[in-house]
Amino acid sequence: MVTRTLWAPQALLPTGWARDVLLSIDEAGRFSSVLCDQGEAGLSPQIERAQGPLLPGLVNAHTHAFQRAMAGLSDAYSADCRDTFWTWRDVMYRFLATLNPDDIEAIATWLYIELMRCGFTTVVEFHYLHHDPKGQPYRDRCELSLRMLRAAERAGIAITLLPVFYAHSGFGGAAPTEGQRRFVHDGDSYLRLFSDLQARCQQQTFAVPVRLGVAPHSLRAVTPDELARVLAFIDRSDPTAPVHIHAAEQPAEVQACQATLGAPPVAWLLDNTPLDARFCLIHATHMTPTECERLAASGAVAGLCPTTEANLGDGLFSAPRYLAAQGRIAIGTDSNVGVDPFAELRLLEYGQRLTQGRRGVLSRSDASVASSLLRSVLSGGAQAAAQPTSQLAVGGRADMLALDGENPDLCGRQGDALLDALVFAPLRGPIREVYVAGRRVIKDGQHAEHARALRDYRAVVSRLLAASA
């Protein structure tokens, strides 16, 4: 049964741009028909009109929601000028020690609304807060994971929830530190958590699309034996579930992995795990040319977070080589110092321009940079999330963005020129409407929960700042 029909003056379909597009959405929130060249003049007045061109919704392939409240709190003056990823991590540990479940839900709800207003319709939550501030399990071991799902429901965003397995502070099975006490599981307790979450998701109907996967944090936080156990478990319980893992984010990590396991992280994963299209390697920044080409050939996705990687001084991903090898990419906002997918794509290209001294580094021969990158992250994001999104096509989930046709940087533009403006023009608020599974969650640029979510978020941040003063 058709529950919603929407007409748009132009829309980005899998085959390219089309004009006068009529999209019908069924009661399951999927496209039941997509028709082109359906002139507006002959349409029924009851059919909805999009307020501008339509794009598929984007997937945020990697985020830690609670870190949104840290934005701007970890960049104070460093007297010895040695502020690194590792010193930032210490700040993060001190920050999260004060968060309670209500705080975590409030921060995530606000972040998820922000993400949708910027164009994300699906979020992949790499969720590693499991215990209370003393490191003790909650009475309900799923408490904080369920808070993520409630936040997604309040915001109306589709979510792939990845409970994180984090057991050690470094390679070789090093004991976890005090700052990591809210993350840590052993193999048994992690698999119990995941099994409980599976049961809850099977028993409960959520108001948004929900998908579960696993996230062994990294090779420094999980031993090879522990990783093998998690992968064997997920193969038995849900062989289509996504598997995400941090890899080769920092040179120190690569060196320690080489010293302990005899290979750098990406090479070790390629040689010792069934790395395939289910996997998303987060960052994969420091790869050799051979690793880069092998990762591309594996069918796995590289989950890139350019703004966070720049903020932490991680380095630049080998995008030209990887994309030339037909590698698949997705984008994420990671620590959420930025929440705009188009800004992530801009920085991905600009980083390459700054190092290579030329423009248009990541464009294909038949498309602009913006068009090339957007199409790549639409398909790669859907794969990383394991959700049927990111295409305006029959059978796909009806996740879409209506752009503001009156925006001065968009008005009068057609086709890929719109994408060029979204990525490279100084736009503010270019998105008017957002739909998730056919349900409109952003109207005229606003969300129904905006005022309440903002009030709750401000209260949390104010309390945290007062406590740390």
User: Mind telling me the catalytic residues?
Assistant: 283, 334
Nearest C-alpha neighbor of 354 from the set 301, 306, 287:
306
- 78: burial class by Cβ within 10 Å (0-12, 13-18, 19+)? exposed
- DSSP track, 26-82: ETTSBEEEEES---GGGS-TTSEE-SS-EEEPEEEEEE-GGGGGGTTSS----TTS-
Q: How far is CA 349 from CA 173, 306, 317, 342, 367, in A?
A: 38, 10, 11, 11, 14
User: Residue 225: helix, strand or coil by DSSP?
Assistant: helix
Strands 446-447 and 301-304 come out as unpaired
> Rounded distance, CA 301 to CA 377, Å?
10
For tokens 């009068």, what's the residue?
Answer: 412
Distances (CA, A) of 18 to 40, 112, 325, 414, 434: 14, 30, 29, 10, 19
Residues 6+ apart with CB under 8 A from 118: 339, 340, 341, 342, 431
Q: Could you tell me the end-to-end alpha-carbon distance of the chain, in angstroms, rounded to an integer?
A: 57
Q: How far is CA 361 from CA 155, 225, 321, 331, 350, in A?
A: 36, 41, 11, 18, 9
Q: Which residues are within 8 A (CB) of 214 and not within 5 positions of it... i.e. 6 or more apart?
A: 162, 163, 165, 194, 230, 234, 241, 242, 243, 244
DSSP state letter for 430? -
Q: How far apart are CA 435 and CA 356, in angstroms?
A: 39
C-alpha pair distances (Å), 334 with each of 14, 65, 188, 212: 28, 8, 27, 18
Which pair of structure tokens corresponds to residue 316? 């630049």
What residues have CB less than 8 Å from 309, skipping those under 6 apart? Answer: 249, 283, 285, 315, 316, 317, 334
Structure tokens at 237: 């319980």
